[in-house]
Amino acid sequence: MQITAEPPTIAVSINKENFTCEIISKSKKFTISILDKQTPMSLIGTFGFKCGRTVDKMEHVTCIQKESMIPIVTDHTTAYIEVRLINKIDVGTHTVFIGEVTNADLITDKEPMTYEYYHDVKGGLSPKNAPTYVGTQSKKETKQGGKNNG
């Protein structure tokens, strides 16, 4: 979510149970990858439904390192954003991390995947820890990542 344009500031809402929450709190930086529409459900399954505490998510992907030195996955990433943490807000189940954009670039000219496209075209679902989870999907679908994912 964009917060201000000048300086460029954005926010993300991360569930406190997620490894990502611990890592951002400790490192005080994070990156965001904007995925293209062709992103396979298997990649979304790894990063969006598995936990970095138990799975090495970076094992089968290609990465680059830029200013922040955080590995940025380039598989199906059309653009990336590097962020320096400037504030965080406790909102109960989630922490909202607010950060200043330190670097951003386009990698390809492919069309980015929106949430609407992910849900309506790819049949993707939101796992329990995502802020958009509404609790109407079956347990099997939530674990698999969507109706079209096995």
Ligand X SMILES: Cc1cc2nc3c(=O)[nH]c(=O)nc-3n(C[C@H](O)[C@H](O)[C@H](O)COP(=O)(O)O)c2cc1C
User: Which residues contribute to the site for ligand X (CB under 6 A)?
Assistant: 13-15, 18-20, 44, 48-52, 118, 126-127, 129-131
Q: Least distance (Å) from ligand X to the CB of residue 11?
A: 10
Decide whether 80 or 118 has the Cβ nearer to ligand X. 118
Could you tell me which of 48, 55, 2, 34 has the C-alpha nearest to residue 110? Answer: 34
Q: Least distance (Å) from ligand X to the CB of residue 136?
A: 16
The secondary structure of the chain as a DSSP string is: -EEETTTTEEEEEEETTSHHHHHHHHHSEEEEEEEBTT--HHHHHHHHHS-TTTS-TTTTS-EEE-TT--EEE-TTEEEEEEEEEEEEEEETTEEEEEEEEEEEEE---SPBPPHHHHHHTS-B---TTSTT--S-S-HHHHHHTBTT--
Decide whether 55 or 64 has the Cβ nearer to ligand X. 55
Decide whether 6 or 54 has the Cβ nearer to ligand X. 54
Decide whether 6 or 94 has the Cβ nearer to ligand X. 94
